[in-house]
Amino acid sequence: MLAAVETAIADQADIVCFGELATTGYPPRDFLEFEDFINSSNELIEKLTEASKDIAIVVGAPRVNPVAEGKDLFNAAYFLAEGEVKHVYDKCLLPTYDIFDEYRYFEPGSNFEIVHYKGKKIALTVCEDIWNIENENPLYTICPLDQMMPAKPDFIINVSASPFNYNQADTRIGILKENVARYNLPMFYINHVGAQTQIIFDGGSLIMSPSGKVFEEFNYFEELQKSFNLDEVIQADSENRQNKEKIEKIHDALVLGVKNYFGKLGFKKAILGLSGGIDSAVTAVIAARALGPENLRVLLMPSQFSSDHSVNDARQLAENLGIQYDIIPIESAFKTFEKLLETQFKDLPFNVTEENIQARCRGLLLMAMSNKFGNILLNTSNKSEMAVGYGTLYGDLAGGISVIGDVYKTEVFQLAEYINKDAEVIPQNSITKPPSAELRPDQKDSDSLPDYDILDTILFEYIEKRKGPKEIIAMGYDEKLVRRILRLVNISEFKRHQTAPVLRVSPKAFGMGRRMPIVAKYLS
């Protein structure tokens, strides 16, 4: 931030802005309960205050509540100038839904004074404060900007931590356009970029003209700093937007998510099991692009049920990516476990138990390589499989981070096509062959699951749209099929509670944004 301040001063800017809770990162969660953590944030504010002698600095940070009543902290935006704290605005609207849990930590602000600086009046707000226009949001009873308008501000600054999902950019612009239309003021909207475990921030900061046009939309998934002239923003009547399709945004988000997960934890190298199927192929490409092919290693672990073309497809992908690969057949390990359990299993037929043993053999080998060489295991399960429990705990569900766990199988196919748009990176056979776990002779996913086109549609209605079984059946889907799928989702909750954090790219991802009880039943 200090480097950005120096750049802004060199650009002869009057104000430089950073995002919501920029001193701590978002979400800091229970770090906020540590006094030492808050002191560290306050020390950063002091350093930035010292750096504000030649420029004003807007920065988000937690602020200690000076009175005994209410929560201990406010989610604040500081306005620093002339080496002093000139103004502090406390966030009024505290989201407590999906991934958000701000009311756990923060007291809502109630002071709506504006900032006076260099002859201008500024309406300073924090993220959610602009999302209740005309009090239309049923979660809130006040509209902060309405409270500020009697002071007749000249422009609006909003510092945000707005997480990515593939719909968010359009939703965000829609909200800003509504604000600008209501208040007829230019708006400067500053958003984070980067990933915090499973939550990804896409940047996409926005400069809005009073005409309601997007004067500038920053690049997605890229840290940027730009200077703007207020008069030019006020007079502009042209639109300047980023144009990216859903699958491209998902791809870029996943690359950033993997890159930041490793970078922020100090990890460098990853490992995964490469089966020749589409899920592990897409995960491998994402990882290679995030970490560099020299930092990715894959294991090909064929069993007696694996087809030759699967091994060849996996080998071809590894060579296409220029990544290290090892082939370790698991048949002998599997037979050893069969021999060990021979007395207990006696003459019982081959079933899912033996399939899971194979998956766990592979998980054991991957974790052994991870422990020995320090490569962090990437989970390759997709959202469709995670939803219905089509995966093995301590086997193919193992990993430090779930890369495509918020990507439905049908979207994985689209990602593969996007990856191959300029040249064949993923072998075409991995895309076109029927999906299979290859854990028994001639196995196909369709033996256990409906076609993914149907499955994913029903899952989307249940998970993203939160529709109950009666509502989904009323849409025309077979009742037995709907109830079977929803039952699989519900009884698999215990598995999802034991799997890796999932990189969030949809409006409703597994993990902290979808909090379901394990043992409770919901029937309709």
Q: Which residues pair with 90 in a beta bridge?
A: 76
- Return the pLDDT at 436: 72
Mean pLDDT (the chain, rounded): 95
Catalytic residue among 17, 91, 107, 128: 91
**Other residues' Cβ atoms within 10 Å of the Cβ of residue 231:** 9
Query: Residues of CATH 3.60.110.10 domain(s) within the chain?
Result: 2-244
The better pLDDT of the pair 187, 134 is held by 187
- Tell the residue number behind the tokens 């001639």, with chain if given: 442
d(CA 92, CA 111) in angstroms, rounded, equals: 8
Active site residue 444: no
Q: Which of 182, 71, 91 is nearest to 142 (CA)?
A: 91
Confidence of residue 437 (pLDDT cuts 50, 70, 90): low
Give mean pLDDT, residues 432-452: 75
From 17, 20, 438, 495, the catalytic residue = 20
The residues of the chain that CATH labels 3.40.50.620 are: 249-445
Q: What is the CATH number of domain 249-445?
A: 3.40.50.620
Position 350, amino acid = F
To the query of whether residue 222 is one of the catalytic residues in this protein, the response is no
Q: What is the mean pLDDT of residues 496-512?
A: 96
* pLDDT digit string, tens, across residues 282-329: 999 999 999 999 999 999 999 888 767 789 999 999 999 999 999 999
At 524, the pLDDT band (50, 70, 90 cuts) reads low
Task: Tell me the CATH number of domain 2-244, given options 3.65.10.10, 3.10.180.10, 3.30.1330.20, 3.60.110.10.
Answer: 3.60.110.10
DSSP 203: B
- Sequence-distant contacts of 220-227: CB under 8 A, at least 24 apart: 220/169, 220/193, 220/244, 220/249, 220/252, 221/193, 221/252, 221/253, 221/255, 221/256, 222/193, 223/193, 223/194, 224/193, 225/4, 225/7, 225/8, 227/8, 227/11, 227/12, 227/13
pLDDT surpasses 70 at 445: no
268 carries an active-site annotation: no
**Catalytic-role residue among 127, 269, 361, 383:** 127
Spatial distance between the Cα atoms of 207 and 31, rounded to a whole number of angstroms: 32
> What pLDDT, in 10s, does the model give residues 148-164?
999 999 999 999 999 99
pLDDT above 90 (res 440): no
What is the pLDDT averaged over residues 480-496?
Answer: 94
pLDDT band at residue 398, thresholds of 50, 70 and 90? very high
- For residues 182-199, give the mean pLDDT: 97
